[in-house]
C-alpha cells in the first residue's frame, strides 16, 4: 500500500508553532494529512475539544491537503477505519525518544501494517511544548512567536475568564 494519507495525532492543548512546523513538513510529504485531536487523555485539558479543533482549523487553513478531526479510543482503530497507514510524530530532543519509541512499538504490535514517521521541527521549536505555553500564558507572559496569534488571544481570554 502506498502511504498517501497520514495522521498526526496529539492533544494540541493548545496547538503551538512547533505543531504547525511539523504539519507543514508532513503536508509536503503526503497527499493528505489529517491532524487528529485525541479525546481520551486522562487529564482534563485546558481547552475543550471544540476549542482545540477550532484553533487547529485556523492554523491549517493555508494547506489544501490538511484537515482536522478528532477521535477517541485506540489510534490504530481510528487509522484502520480511515485507511491510514502512517502516523506522524514530532521529535524535539532525545528526551522525547523513550516515550515515542514505546508508543510506536505498541502501535506497531497492534497494527503491523502501519509505520510511525518521526519529523524534526525547526530549531526554534525544539524546547516548545503545550505545557510550557499554558504555564507562561497563565502567568501573563508574552508568547511571541511560540503560538499563532489567534492562539495567544484565546489563551489570554481563557486565563482572564479563570481569574
Q: How many CB atoms lie within 10 A of CB 44?
A: 7
Known catalytic residue at 130: yes
Residues 10-29, one symbol each (x = binds ligand ADP by CB under 6 A, - = not), give xxx---x-xx--x-------
Catalytic residue among 24, 27, 59, 130: 130
Among candidates 48, 3, 52, which has minimal Cα distance to 29? 3
β-bridge mates for residue 14, sequence order: none
CB of 38 to ligand ADP, least distance (A): 7
Known catalytic residue at 3: no
Tell me the C-alpha to C-alpha distance, in Å, between residue 82 and each of 36, 64, 69, 76, 110: 12, 19, 11, 10, 16
By CB under 6 A, residue 96 contacts ligand ADP: yes
Q: What element of type H or E holds 56?
A: helix 49-59
**Sole binder of ligand ADP in the list 75, 84, 128, 154 (CB under 6 A):** 128
Instruction: Between 71 and 125, name the residue whose CB sits nearer to ligand ADP.
Output: 125
**Sole binder of ligand ADP in the list 87, 89, 107, 151 (CB under 6 A):** 89
By CB under 6 A, residue 148 contacts ligand ADP: no
By CB under 6 A, residue 150 contacts ligand ADP: no
- The answer to whether residues 150 and 122 touch, using CB atoms and an 8 Å cutoff, is no
CA-to-CA distance for 88 and 27, rounded, in angstroms? 10
Known catalytic residue at 43: yes
Name residue, grid cell 508553532: 17
Residues taking part in catalysis: 19, 43, 92, 130
Q: Which residues bind ligand ADP (CB under 6 A)?
A: 10-12, 16, 18-19, 22, 89-90, 92, 96, 121, 125, 128-131
Amino acid at each position: 500500500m502506498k502511504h498517501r494519507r497520514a495522521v498526526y495525532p496529539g492533544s494540541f492543548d493548545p496547538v503551538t508553532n512547533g505543531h504547525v512546523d511539523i504539519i507543514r513538513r508532513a503536508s509536503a510529504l503526503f497527499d493528505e494529512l489529517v491532524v487528529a485531536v485525541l479525546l481520551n487523555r486522562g487529564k482534563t485539558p485546558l481547552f475543550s475539544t471544540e476549542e482545540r479543533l477550532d484553533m487547529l482549523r485556523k492554523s491549517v487553513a493555508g494547506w489544501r491537503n490538511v484537515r482536522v478531526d478528532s477521535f477517541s479510543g485506540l489510534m490504530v482503530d481510528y487509522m484502520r477505519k480511515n485507511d491510514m497507514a502512517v502516523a506522524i510524530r514530532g521529535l524535539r530532543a532525545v528526551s522525547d525518544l523513550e516515550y515515542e519509541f514505546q508508543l510506536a512499538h505498541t502501535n506497531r504490535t497492534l497494527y503491523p501494517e502501519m509505520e510511525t514517521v518521526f519529523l524534526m521541527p525547526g530549531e526554534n521549536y525544539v524546547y516548545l511544548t503545550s505545557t510550557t505555553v499554558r504555564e507562561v500564558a497563565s502567568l501573563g507572559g508574552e508568547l511571541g512567536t511560540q503560538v499563532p496569534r489567534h492562539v495567544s488571544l484565546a489563551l489570554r481570554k481563557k486565563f482572564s475568564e479563570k481569574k
